[in-house]
Structure 1
Amino acid sequence: MTIMIVCKFCIIFRMIGVQKKKGVPKWVAVLAILALVSVATVLQTYSSLRIFRSISSPHLYHERLIRRQTNDTRNITSAARNAIVTPGFIRKVLEINSREQEIPSEKNIFTHASEKSTTKYSISFDEPTSTHKKIPKQKVTHIGFLKVHKAGSTTMQNIFFRFGLKHNLTFVLPERGHYFMTTKSAMPVTPGHHRDILACHSKYSRGLFGSVLPEDTVNIGIIREPFDRMISAAYYYRDVWRSPMLIDVPRLNFIHNLVNRPDLYERKPFTKTKNAMGQDFGFAPTVTINDTDIIKDHLEMLTKDFKLVLLMEKFDESLILMKRTLNWDLSDIIYFTSNSHAHQPVILNPTELDKFKSTCFLDYAVFEKFNKTFHEKLSAEGLHFMEEVEHFKSVLELVKDYCDIQGARRERKPLNIVESDWNEPFKITQNDCYYMQMKELPFVDFLKRRHREANILNDLEINKY
């Protein structure tokens, strides 16, 4: 470029030289040439810097790419706005893009498998993280789940029921009702077969769980902050189950009445609103607040027996922790919230709170013990744990959107969740939505029919020989 400019200046110089005869001084021509050469040098240097900057700063390319993708996106749902997309995931999208000769679009990442679907989801580019995929381990399929009242346990039960159906497992089911209380009350299994999962309501004891489950069973429990659990239980069992004891409590200052007058409304050692967690975790009704050694020993026994106790207040974190503990897949822990019941917020004064803690001393003993161990396990998982939790929440939103919409159409193609650092690709179907939203009692009845049919088929198989 410089040579071309100089050549042009030479031509100009010659023209100026011709004009010299007409009185143009030679020094004016020389100054003009020098000025033009200086301007040309500055322009060329500036152009080179621009090229160098665009090459040495690849992040500028990503910024422009993201802006271009963002401008093309119009219907972005909150479901995937914070989705974590890992480098391997981005490479996969770019490979698809190179084959299709088009700019990567959100539709290539998360989308309903429906030709008529117009919903798009955005992604965010994160810094590279170490791969979280590990060599596949065998999934834990022998599970004893302690279903604690009003602590997210119905949602957990639904997860275990669907996992068992998916893997053709056998459940511990009571012959009647939905409470498993004694070994004899369990539906029988044919000789040569065993039960895999206990997820019905029960009270924990080593003997009871051990009598119906294999020796390598992993016990899982769940807890909730005692006062919040009590409020939820009080409104639920009063308004839904119409508990006579709770109906008798004056509605004005309902919770305060329960807290301030345990001598009038909470006379039994265990009720739905008094030490219910303590009862579910197997404490004897004769234990008093002064039996500190008995309480301590029982808690130590529970710590040995339970591989993991989840925390309702950190439900999604609990599920990711359980997924890792049981070697499950992300698809195994997808859920819909079940059996929730709205209620008015209640605040206790310090005197009332002290009184409530004295009344529900077993609930607080259980909560304080396992709340501490839960957070210790959480801290041991490392920095990338929360990335997986956020990814899980994004997938849950996609599933919720899909299942909310799918009821409006008779037939709908599956929702495809593509591969990520946290999961293998999997599909959510209409059947998945149906079972996720199935109520507890119908689900238990369905499993009982399945259990009986399996026993009949097993008996026929045995009689053939």
Structure 2
Amino acid sequence: MIKKPMGDGIPKWLMISTLFVVVCALAVIETLLPLHTSTSIPPPRQYSVNKSSSHNSNRKYIGSIVQKDLLQITPKSSTKGKRRKVTHIGFLKVYKAGSSTLANIFFRFGINHNLTFVLPTKGYQFMGTNYSAMPVKPGQHRDILACHSVYSRIFFGSVLPEDSVKIGIIREPSERMVSAAYYYRDVWKRKYLLKVPKLNFIHNLVERPDLYETKPFSETKNAMGHVFGFSPSITVNDTEAIEKHLDLLKKDFKQVLVMERFEESLILMKRTLNWDLADVIYLKRNSHAHQPVIFGPDELKKFKNTCFLDYAVYETFYEIFDKKIDAEGPDFINEVEHFNSVLQSVRDFCKLGSMNPPQISLRISQSVWNEPFEVTKQDCHYMKMGAFKLMDFLKERHREMNMNHDIVSR
């Protein structure tokens, strides 16, 4: 007897039900766990100059950066979103340590963001007995201090809001001293430096501090220690007093930049202050050419003993700076490289003033570190402006902003 076949397999109604359940399950899974997740970051875009239509230039303003392992790096600056920029800043300038260039950055930032500066009533700096600031409208406050001054918690606190971020800058002491010695001898004709024989000028200055460096502080002796607020009565053996003041400075200063690592310093500052790349572009300022100087071991030892405060400040904050750079992560060097390329285009663009017809503007395209922005000839003008001329401009601007008000704050 032949049996009735049971069919070709599973009943059709069961197959249809099972398929429906599977399709629904896959739809739910795909919703909860996307199957096509990308972690790649687009590489930096190119930047170029906007030119007038009738101008044909042989110079190229196209730049790109090849960056290794970029797809595996998430730049910190790309994750900051719309955090507010820091606009309350106290900058401590140090003679011959890139401070004029940095002050120019702070001044341009303040102009672009309609901020108010702390400006001396007379002259161009808060030094000696000159500590009165230009008045502001009643109920208003000042935003940025970027003039020469000696650090004092009392003074900074009296002219700036409580939430102000303090920024400083340092330079390797022997290099700073050499630069300052030539500059203040040749440009400012300092009497004590004019007394030093020109033959072996720096070596004479280092070898005979008892003859030429008779005061606790000068432009060439413990200048960084002076500006950072150390007492002139501190001696090389007062280690406890030195450490105590250094501890105060470490608490007060959010960041201290390093001149010989200037581009790294600016990118670190940009991240610290939530600024844009456009806010930290610059042209080098106030440099003074001089002959290179090489110190012998004995000379260097003697100089370190003379400028002990400068070395205390430098070594302390250089170590802190190094640690902060290390903590920034692997994308930091990529941003610095990108910044250097942008700076080169800015320098080239700002040199083209004599071309006819002139370049209209420089457009920096978007990258993983910056929104697109433009550099104009007016920006170049401000970046090139001399320190005294810029201060005169800022004082006139301040008077117009605070007209008919005569309240002066220390």
The TM-score bracket by the shorter chain reads 0.7 to 0.9
Which one-letter code corresponds to 1:191 in the other structure?
A: P
Q: How does 1:213-224 map to 2 (within 5 A)?
A: 213-224=160-171
The aligned counterpart of 2:64 is 123
Structure 2 equivalent of residue 110 of structure 1? 47
- Does the CA-based 8 Å contact 1:173-1:186 persist in structure 2? yes
Partner SS, residue 398 of structure 1: helix
Distance 1:117 1:384 in 2: 37
- 1:435 maps to a residue whose letter is Y
Letter in 1 for 2:112: K
3-state secondary structure, aligned to 1:307: strand
Find out whether 1:151 has 2:105 as its counterpart. no
Q: 1:261 to 1:417 in 2, by over 3 A?
A: same
Where does structure 2 lack aligned partners over 5 or more consecutive residues?
A: 1-39
* Structure 1 residues 265 and 140, CA gap change in structure 2 (3 angstroms): same
In the alignment, which residue of structure 2 is the partner of 1:137?
83
Q: 1:255 aligns with which of 190, 196, 202?
A: 202
- Which residue in the other structure is 1:430 paired with? 377
Q: CA deviation at 1:123?
A: 3.1
Q: Of residues 356, 368, 371 in structure 1, which corresponds to 2:318? A: 371
Query: Aligned partners of 1:431 and 1:143: how far apart in 2?
Result: 24
Q: Which residue of 2 aligns with 1:47?
A: none
Q: Which amino acid aligns with 1:88?
A: P
Cα distance in 1 for residues equivalent to 2:321 and 2:248? 16
Q: Which whole-Å deviations, capped at 9, do the CAs of 1:246-282 have from their partners, x for residues lacking one?
A: 1110000000000000010000000110000000000
Match of 1:172 among 82, 106, 118: 118
Structure possessing the higher radius of gyration over alpha carbons: 1
Match of 1:384 in 2: 331
How big is the shift at 1:207?
A: 0.4
CA–CA separation in structure 1 for the residues paired with 2:222 and 2:65:
46
Q: Which amino acid is the alignment partner of residue 160 of structure 1? A: F
Distance 1:190 1:409 in 2: 45
Q: 2: distance between equivalents of 1:267 and 1:342? A: 27
Alpha-carbon distance in 1 for matches of 2:182, 2:358: 38
Measure the CA separation in 2 of the matches of 1:184 and 1:262. 30
TM-score where L is the length of structure 2? 0.84
Aligned partner of 1:423: which letter? Answer: N
For residue 327 of structure 1, what is the aligned residue in structure 2? 274
What's the CA shift for 1:349? 1.2
TM superposition score normalised by structure 1: 0.74
Structure 1 gap segments, 5+ residues each: 1-85, 94-108, 460-465
Taking the aligned partners of 2:89 and 2:65, their CA distance within structure 1 comes to 37
Assess if the C-alpha contact under 8 Å between 1:178 and 1:441 holds in 2.
Answer: yes
Structure 2 CA distance for partners of 1:407 and 1:328, relative to 1, 3 Å: farther
Instruction: Give 2:192's aligned amino acid.
Output: M
Across the aligned residues of Structure 1 and Structure 2, the Cα RMSD in angstroms comes to: 1.7
CA distance in 1, matches of 2:356, 2:154: 49
What residue in structure 1 maps to residue 3 of structure 2?
none
Q: Does 1:271 align with 2:218?
A: yes
Q: Which amino acid aligns with 2:238?
A: D
| Whole-Å separation in 2 of the counterparts to 1:301 and 1:288 | 18
Q: Which has the higher contact order (CA 8 A, sep 6+)?
A: 2
Distance 1:327 1:426 in 2: 16
What amino acid sits opposite 1:169 in the alignment? L
Please say if residues 141 and 196 of structure 1, whose CA atoms lie closer than 8 Å, have aligned partners that are also in contact: yes
The answer for the alignment partner of 2:135 in structure 1 is 188
- Equivalent AA in structure 2 for residue 370 of structure 1: F
Q: How does 1:286-297 map to 2 (within 5 A)?
A: 286-297=233-244
AA aligned to 1:110 is Y
SS in structure 2 opposite 1:88?
coil
Question: Quick one: which amino acid aligns to residue 219 of structure 1?
Answer: K
| Equivalent AA in structure 2 for residue 162 of structure 1 | R
Percent identical residues: 60
Mapped to 2, the partners of 1:191 and 1:308 lie a distance apart of 31
Superimposed CA distance per residue, residues 308-346 of structure 1 (whole angstroms, 9 cap, x where no aligned partner): 000001000000000000000000000011001111111
Shift in alpha-carbon separation, 1:349–1:364, aligned structure 2, 3 A: same
Checking the alignment, whether the CA contact within 8 Å between 1:89 and 1:421 is kept in structure 2 is: yes
Q: Counterpart of 1:145 in structure 2: which amino acid?
A: F
Q: Does structure 2 conserve the Cα–Cα contact (< 8 Å) formed by 1:183 and 1:212? A: no
The one-letter amino acid of 1:434's match is H
| 1: CA distance, partners of 2:367 / 2:256 | 27
- Counterparts in 2 of 1:327 and 1:242: CA distance versus 1, 3 Å: same
Q: CA deviation at 1:447?
A: 0.3
Check whether the contact 1:89–1:419 (CA below 8 A) recurs between aligned residues.
no
TM-fit CA distance, 1:185: 1.3
Aligned residues: 357
Separation in structure 2 between the aligned mates of residue 216 and residue 139 of structure 1, nearest angstrom: 13
Q: Which amino acid aligns with 1:272?
A: E
Distance 1:285 1:379 in 2: 35
The alpha carbon displacement at 1:356 in A equals: 0.5
- Which amino acid in 1 is paired with 2:149? S
Q: Which has the higher helix share?
A: 1
- Secondary structure of 1:220's partner? strand
CA contact (8 A) 1:223 1:367 kept: yes
- CA gap of 1:161–1:122, structure 2 versus 1, over 3 A, is closer
1:169-228 CA distance string (max 9 Å, x none): 000000111112468511011101100000000000100100000000000000000000
